[in-house]
Structure 1
Amino acid sequence: MRIDKFLKVSRLIKRRTVAKDVSDQGRVWINGRDAKASTHVKVGDELSIQFGQKKVTIRVELLTESTRKEDAAMMYTLLKEEAFQTE
């Protein structure tokens, strides 16, 4: 599954176009490497996503083409959440 679709289906990012833009801006990493929107993600991969002043690291647990809102959180496990300090 493409990273932009995973981010949308898992509801980490609400719209696929926004997920594509975030990926293409270099704010998403898969297993420590830069990921573009077309990069494929597999179960077990670690994703890091930078949201403004926050960086979230997750592990992919499940890949499905679509999911209900209540089940979206089962697609990943939150590993780490870091806040950046502004000076």
Structure 2
Amino acid sequence: MRLDKFLKESRLVKRRVVAQEMIGIGAVRLNGRQCRSSAQVCVGDTVEIAYMTRVLKVTVLVDDEKELRKKQSIPYVLQEERRVNSDEKPW
């Protein structure tokens, strides 16, 4: 599954366009590296998302689109959450 679609379907980002913009500016990393929106996400991958005031690090548990759309499925497990100042860029 594409990275931008995973972010939207797993509810880490509200809209796919926003996910694409975040990936474009480098606020999302896949397995520690910057990537494109079309990067493929697989089970076991690590995704880091830098929001305005925090950075989330999650491990992917589900990469199937049909499973992600089910409300009871858990698409990721939170590894780390850390706060950052809004004026500094985490990357």
TM-score (norm 2): 0.85
> How much does 1:64 deviate?
2.4
Aligned partner of 2:17 in structure 1 is 17
Aligned pair count reads 85
Distance in 1 between the 2:58 and 2:38 partners? 19
Distance 2:7 2:85 in 1: 25
**Which residue in the other structure is 2:47 paired with?**
47
Alpha-carbon distance in 1 for matches of 2:8, 2:26: 17
The answer for unaligned runs of 5 or more in structure 1 is none
Q: In 2, are the aligned partners of 1:43 and 1:62 still within 8 Å (CA)?
A: yes
Cα distance in 2 for residues equivalent to 1:45 and 1:77:
11
Kept after mapping to 1: 8 A contact 2:43/2:61: yes
Given that 1:56 and 1:81 are in contact with CA atoms closer than 8 Å, whether structure 2 keeps it comes out as: yes
Distance 2:31 2:61 in 1: 14
In the alignment, what sits opposite 2:29?
Answer: 29
Q: Which runs of 4+ in 1 moved over 3 A?
A: none
Give the percent of matched residue pairs that are identical in Structure 1 and Structure 2: 36
> Does the C-alpha gap of structure 1 residues 37 and 83 become closer, same or farther in structure 2, counting only changes over 3 Å?
same
In angstroms, what is the RMSD of aligned CA positions?
1.5
